[in-house]
Each structure stands twice: as C-alpha cells, then as structure tokens.
Amino acid sequence: MIRRLLWPSVVLALVLAYPLLFSTPFQQRLGALVLLYAIAASAWNIVGGYAGQVSVGHVVFFGCGAYAAMSAYAHFGLSPLVGIPMGILLSAGIAAVIGVPTLRLSGHYFSMATIAVAELARLIVTNTNYLGAAVGLSGPTVPRNVFDLSFISALPYYYLFLTVLALTLGITWWMANSRMGFYLRAIRDSERAARSLGAPASRTKLYAFMLSAGLTSVAGALYAMMFGFVDPESGLGILISVKILIMAALGGAGLLFGPLVGAAILVPLEEISNNLLGGKGAGLTFVLYGAIIVLIARFQPGGILTLIKRLWAKRRKMPAHAVAPEPSHAP
C-alpha cells in the first residue's frame, strides 16, 4: 500500500512545489500555462477520449469563456469571474446545438460540424463591434481588487489553475466511474452493442459533450484573465483547438492523466521552439505538431501513457507472482 502511494505523492509534491523550486518568471509562467492547457485538454478528453467523439472545434467553447469573462468587465464593470457561469451556460447551449443533430450520425459529421461552428464563431465575432470585432476586448489594466484576478506574477495563477485542474480531473474521474462513464466506454467500443443493451447512446454522448464544453469555457475564461485580453485569434483561432486536441491525444485520450502529460510535454516544447526560432518558429512548431498527430494516429493511437502502461505491464509480467492485466481500454 505504501509503495503504491509513494510515487503519486512524490509527483504531487513536485507539482505543488514547482513554482518555488523553479522561481524565475519564465518558469512560473511556463508552469501556469502547462496547467491551463491541461485543464482545456482534460475537458476535451471527456468527449474526445471517453466518448470517442473527436471535436476539432473546441476553441469555440474556449472562446465563449474568454469572451464572457472579458465582457463582464468591459461592458458591465464586473469582475471577470462573473463571466464564468455565463460562459459555461453559453458553451453548453452551443454544444447542444451541435450535438443534438450530429451525435445521432456517424462521428465524421460531429467532427465536421465542430470545425464549421468554430469558424462560424470566429467570423461572427470578428464582425461584431459589441465583442470588439478584430481588436478584441481587454480586461482591467489595473486590478481594482483581488476579484479582478489580475496579477503581475504568474505564481497566483499557477495555484489557481492547479485548483481548477484538480476539480476538472475530479469531475472526470467521478464521471468515468459513474453509470455515465460505463455507458460511454460501452458506446465507444461498439455503439450498436451498447444501444442494443439499452444504453441511451445519443443522450449520454450529448451530456459528455456539454460537460466538456462547460469545462473548456472555464479554461478560456482563466486564459483571458491571465493575459488580460481576448481577440479573435487568441480566443477563437483554430490553432487553439489543435493544441487542445494534440495534447490530449499525445498524452493518452481516454486516460485521466493523459492530457496533463501531453500538456507537460508540448507547452515547454512550443515555448522553447518559439524562443529559439523567433517569428519563423510559429510555422515550424505547427509543422511539428502536424507530424506528431500523424505519427500518433498511425502508430500509437492510445498516446504515450498507453504505451508506458503496456511496457510497464510487460516488465511486471516477468516475475510470476505479479501478473498485470493488459489495460482493457487500450484501443
């Protein structure tokens, strides 16, 4: 028992102490960004990993949260925090509008609809003056009080994001082990079989999608608070969707900690390549992202964690007394 808890507690202690051990502003900011993207990718994981419905337009929910938080400040002078529930409601509503028709059809329709909605949202917002059009909306330049969540140091953001990430993972874990989680796994493995056994397939997928959308919008709101503004590119650009998706898939879609692992690998990679390559780096970073996605899809659709688990299980199999079963949810 103690041995089983040893490694998780070491990792947890490291995560908690990270911004104190690595205390330069760059390192603290990097840590906060890893956690932020881990929140978004974990939220994606609920619909993309557990339900097996690949959303390629998750940025629309991210943008909902970001724009709701900044609107609360810019239009009503309220704390950006007030925007969070609005963003969640709006996101869940949009998810229902996409999900109700497409989750009855094959998964391709769902993916195409999400990409179209994300583009639609970006075009509409870019042409809406109320939402700042192409310029975007800004948050408080000087914080009025702590509820504006506008800090110069990245340290408060780090612990805020860590708390939200813990909540997101808690919700995911609870969902995965509830009746809904079992339905989702059954549907992902064979929708026809699951339906014939009475699992309400379309409805369960829709709930997962709405839950995922709401949590993603929280990530968007936090992002806007940390950077103090949102514009169509940073809040609704297709590349945000790409990052969210690739982090979850690289780490391990459908695994609780997969998205966190993916974010911990890719966020530093992107920061470093942008620093090394400068302006040209942006293009090359995404060439690399594309290549990584293709390679995962081609060779290891289960992501890195599935690979590690499999290797681990093989090693553990050697002594006869510790036979570990293959991870049952590996595709």
Partner 1 sequence: MSTILVQVIVGGLLLGAVYALFSSGLTLVWGMMNIVNFAHGDFVMLGMYVAFVVYSLFGAGPLLGAPIAALVLATLGIIVYFGLIREIMKGPMLAQILGTFGLALLLRYSAFWWFGANFLTLPENIVGGTFDILGLRIQASRLLAGGVALLVTLGLHLLLTRTSLGSKMLAVAEDSTAAQLMGIRPDSMQAVAWAIAAGATGLAGALIATFFYIVPTVGETLGIVAFVTVSLGGFGSVPGALMAGLLIGVIESLSAYLIGAVYKDIVVYSLFLGFLWFRPQGLMGKT
- Report the nearest approach of partner 1 to the CB of residue 163 (Å): 30
Burial class (CB in 10 A: 0-12, 13-18, 19+), 126: middle
Separation of alpha carbons 182 and 328, rounded Å: 13
Asked if 249 is part of the footprint of partner 1 (rule: CB under 8 A), the reply reads yes
Judged by CB under 8 A, the chain residues 84 through 143 that form the site for partner 1 are 97-98, 100-102, 104-109, 111-113, 115-117, 119-120, 123-124, 127
Per CB under 8 A, does 284 bind partner 1? yes
Between the two ends of the chain, the Cα-to-Cα distance in Å is 29
Q: Is 184 in the site for partner 1 (CB under 8 A)?
A: no
- For partner 1, which is the closer residue by CB, 109 or 151? 109
DSSP class of residue 325?
A: P
The H-or-E segment that residue 84 falls in is: helix 83-102
Candidates 36-44, 205-213, 286-294, 304-312: pick the segment binding partner 1 (CB under 8 A).
286-294
CB of 213 to partner 1, least distance (A): 16
Least Cβ distance, residue 298 to partner 1 (angstroms): 6
Rounded Cα distance, 30 and 268, in Å? 7
Report the C-alpha gap between 313 and 322 in whole angstroms: 9
Q: How far is the CB of 197 from partner 1 (least distance, A)?
A: 20
Which of 155, 238, 256, 265 is close enough to bind partner 1 by CB under 8 A? 238
Identify the residue among 39, 47, 54, 240 touching partner 1 (CB under 8 A): 54
CA-CA-CA-CA torsion sign (168, 53, 41, 252): positive
Residue 169 tokens, joined: 């993972």
Q: CA 159, 164, 170, 173: dihedral to nearest 10 degrees?
A: -110
Q: Which stretch binds partner 1 (CB under 8 A): 140-148, 241-249, 311-319, 321-329?
A: 241-249
As measured in angstroms, the least distance from the Cβ of 134 to partner 1 is: 11
- In this structure, is the dihedral angle defined by the CA atoms of residues 4, 173, 244 and 216, taken in order, positive or negative? negative
Site of interaction with partner 1 (CB under 8 A): 48-49, 52, 54, 56, 97-98, 100-102, 104-109, 111-113, 115-117, 119-120, 123-124, 127, 188, 238, 242, 245-246, 249, 253, 280, 283-284, 286-287, 289-298, 301, 331
